[in-house]
Amino acid sequence: MERITIIGVGPIGASIGLGLMRRKLNNTEIVISSGDRKVMDTVSKIGAADSTDGNLRSAVSGAQLVVIDTQIGELHELLEAIGPILDSGAVVTDTSATKTPVLRWAKQYLRTGASYVGGRPLTKRIPHSVESADPTIFAGANYTVTPAKDADESSINTVIGLIEALGAHPLFLDPSEHDSYAAAMHYLPIVMASAFVTTTAGSDGWREMHQLADEGFDRYSHLAANDPMDNEAYCLANPEALVHWLDQIILELYSYRNDIAEGKSELLEKFVDAWEMRARWEADAVVPKGGAILPSARDSMATAFFGQKLADRLHSNDDDKKEQQLKYSRRSGPPA
């Protein structure tokens, strides 16, 4: 019997376990290992694994695939711990948002015969706790793949198989490219949220002002509630990339600041641009410049029934309607 072992474990790892359990993979055992007894009790309760094992050695013994789901600060220690006890041929992947240092640690600690293939699910929603783990978050989502240079095709295919079993799509990225994007998407918001809290809660008027702190404050400051040591580790994992994006946001904020101070009409344009950019992301309508759009099954059927010219016209009408929904209407406000 094959074995997939998930160690850590947070909401993502528990959701992966649930997703694999629901697939009912043939001749495959799902094991979850955690140093937290409460986490393992919860995992058993929600049915996210066939079994749990608090002993790391026995948990990874015989595992063909090991998924590490933990904070970046603990990932180094876990790789060091499992490196000598992995079976030859085992594949190790992770869910962290930083890849360059993890690749370095994997090269240092994984025994000969074991391979590292980095991964990261890019879900638009993450459960808040292990108890609220949800396998549907992976459906249709991109899932990054960043293999080590010495990872063979079989190891990469093992991780691709995991991704597709969860209903996600593999997205191959160079580790440096991945970390630059991750600095903007994951670590920049941490710094912004923390700066927002220290600016407001650290002000002289906070004693009175905190009474106005409502759901908006809670939502925007959420990342500042992460473990401070984890936030520091995230920011220092790839400081050069993060500093670049911090410089960009400082310039952008200063531009907003000047438009507000001077009452410029450009302020509305900035807000409109931001509204439309987010609308495109939310509607999965962000297309890379020059990127080709692959024909869907719907496209092929329309062409078969109506002919290419008519099909193009029908799709053009649909595209026009969709495009209108992604444009901010200045007369009536946001489209319904």
Instruction: Answer yes or no: are the C-beta atoms of 58 and 86 closer than 8 Å.
Output: no
Domains of the chain: 2-173 (3.40.50.720), 174-264 (1.10.3660.10), 275-336 (no CATH)
Q: Is the pTM for the entire model greater than 0.85?
A: no
Instruction: Answer yes or no: are the C-beta atoms of 4 and 65 closer than 8 Å.
Output: yes
Residue 289 CB-density burial (10 A; 0-12 exposed, 13-18 middle, 19+ buried):
exposed
Amino acid at 15: S
Give pLDDT, residue 289. Answer: 45
DSSP string over 5-28: EEEE--HHHHHHHHHHHHHT-TTE
Q: What is the pLDDT of residues 221-251, one digit of tens each?
A: 999 998 898 889 889 888 999 999 999 999 9
For 88, phi and psi rounded to 5 degrees? -65, 135
Give pLDDT, residue 282. Answer: 86
DSSP code of residue 223: G
**Two tokens at 120?**
């990261």
Instruction: Answer yes or no: are the C-beta atoms of 30 and 49 closer than 8 Å.
Output: yes
**Two tokens at 99?**
């890849």
Give pLDDT, residue 297. Answer: 38
Give pLDDT, residue 247. Answer: 97
Give pLDDT, residue 176. Answer: 86
Closest alpha carbon to 143 in 102, 100, 172, 180: 172
Instruction: Answer yes or no: are the C-beta atoms of 158 and 65 closer than 8 Å.
Output: yes
Q: What is the pLDDT of residues 94-105, one digit of tens each?
A: 999 889 889 999
Cα(16)–Cα(8) distance, rounded to whole angstroms?
12
Ranges in the chain, pLDDT < 50: 289-306
| CA–centroid distance for 321 within its chain | 30
